[in-house]
Amino acid sequence: MDLLSATVSAAVASFFLVLIFFCVLLLRVFTGKSLNHPQYPPVMGTVFHQLLYFNRIHDYHIDVVRRQRTFRLLAPAQSELYTAEPRNVEHILKTNYDNYSKGSYHTEILGDIFGRGIFNADGDSWRQQRKIASFEFSTRVLRDFSCAVFRIKAAKLAETILGFVAMNQTFDIQDLLMRCSLDSIFKVGFGVDLNCLEGSNEEGRKFIKAFDDSNRLVYYRYVDPFWKLRRILNLGSEGSLKKNTKIMDGFVFGVIRNKRKQMFEQQKYNDKEDILSRFLEASKEDPLSMTDQYLRDIILNFMIAGKDTSGGTLSWFFYLLCKHPLIQEKVAGEVREIINCKENEINFNAFASCLTDTALDKMHYLHAALTETLRLYPAVPVDGRCADRDDVLPDGFRVKKGDYVYYMAYAMGRMTYIWGEDAEDFRPERWLGDGLFRPESPFKFVSFHAGPRICLGKEFAYRQMKIVAMVLLHFFRFRLADEKKLVTYKTMLTLHIDGGLHLNAIPRVVFDKF
């Protein structure tokens, strides 16, 4: 009986502690936020609305933006400003760039995965990584090496899909594209043959699952006011995140050790084709700051950029092509028109070898279709910055020091005041003028960021996506396995298709093995 009373008393005490904590949280949410001040963006909700609409959070943003282009959601520590106004985006990312940083709130949330890597860093750390990466992306060596890798991986992907065709099976193209992209980024970025696409690397398979799961779990921190308590107690999502981080760390530290060993054993190592080698060389000059932990952070940052931008975008691209079969045929027709190597049309590797830089540059309609995909399904649907000083946005609204200003690429891509009445339609032609690709302002199309922090790997990503798309569309026609199934996103840092994308492939040519 004493044990029962003690248990009940503990439960009641715990309940009241949580209640008190929640009341304090609410008080902090609404205190000192200038709720009705006309110079500050209108309050359209609180952080709890984000939690309520978590599974459709980007659609929730769209609903609000259609009523108010710049608005606030109240949070315990500061206001969170959200904007879908291109003038404000340009102000934050370029005009008044020096006043906006990642901020401690953002870096703490993402720190367990991305640490001090380039996408989670400011100041000297960011400049150091940016300088090295900028040099690497500008070299002809990396360009040629990366394209060679992309061709090999694209041919291997086509071979894998042919295997499903031979067995008359559907397949999850998102899973295949993510594994193909991961193989590519590890080879190009880190000099490692991961072989995830073949499925022969069990350690690699566990790593990619841990990384993707962590992507979603860490995003949940943005809407969970109790995440720090969960982390201390190692409960729920935070317990899972800790396990996944351990898996990722073990794998990445192994990659670093092996690369150090390779560089040490190799007598002449002048042609450093991969990015990790360049960072390892730099670590010799500054071993105290460029530790293995720092290199681990760099690897995971480049990985999310390389894998999720290309793999995720291509997944949405093939979804849109399946929903618009005439556009799929138009892209395939452009491939046939530009790539004139009929003698190799049933040889994956030989065809891929025809995809030269000159050929890729001529693929204007494909480039437009990929860009249109990114407009509707940006790899990073929401991003933001912290105001280091009080500021006034171009639309007249004030920002307080410490406020976070988020720009919503997903919502912006669907706004008629930016893209016209057909904003929600998939129409590659909006990017073409006289048959040539015509770019738009990076502050209305923010899929590759803008300003001083614009994505260094933009052209790198386009080359990879074009090569994969051209190989697959030359050999196959794609259809949705279930036309009636709702296809939507999974809420996480990057925009994945929830549950994958299951397709059927129909060969465009006659293969010998059939």
Tokens of 323: 């929903």
pLDDT at 487: 97
Below-70 pLDDT ranges, the chain: 1-38, 77, 200, 267-273, 341-345, 512-514
What does each C-alpha distance from 125 to 62, 78, 118 come to in angstroms?
35, 26, 8
Long-range contacts of 176-179 (CB under 8 A, 24+ apart): 177/310, 177/311, 177/314, 177/315, 177/318, 177/468, 178/208, 178/212, 178/307, 178/308, 178/311, 178/312, 178/315, 179/208, 179/311
Backbone torsions φ then ψ of 162, nearest 5 degrees: -60, -35
Give the burial class of 387: count Cβ atoms within 10 A of its Cβ; 0-12 exposed, 13-18 middle, 19 or more buried: buried
CB atoms near residue 488 (< 10 Å): 13
Query: What span, in angstroms and rounded, lies between the C-alpha atoms of 308 and 463?
Result: 15
Q: In the prediction, which pLDDT does 4 show?
A: 53
pLDDT in tens, 208-243: 899 999 999 999 998 888 899 999 999 999 999 999
pLDDT > 90: what percent of the chain? 63
- What is the Cα Rg of the chain in Å? 24
Interatomic CA distance for residues 46 and 32, integer angstroms: 14
The pLDDT score that the predictor gives to residue 512 is 64
Residue 341, pLDDT score = 66
- Domain 25-114+379-412 falls in which CATH fold? 3.30.43
pLDDT tens, residue by residue, 12-54: 544 444 444 444 444 444 444 455 566 789 999 888 888 899 9
The reported pLDDT for the residue numbered 260 is 84
**180 marked as binding residue:** no
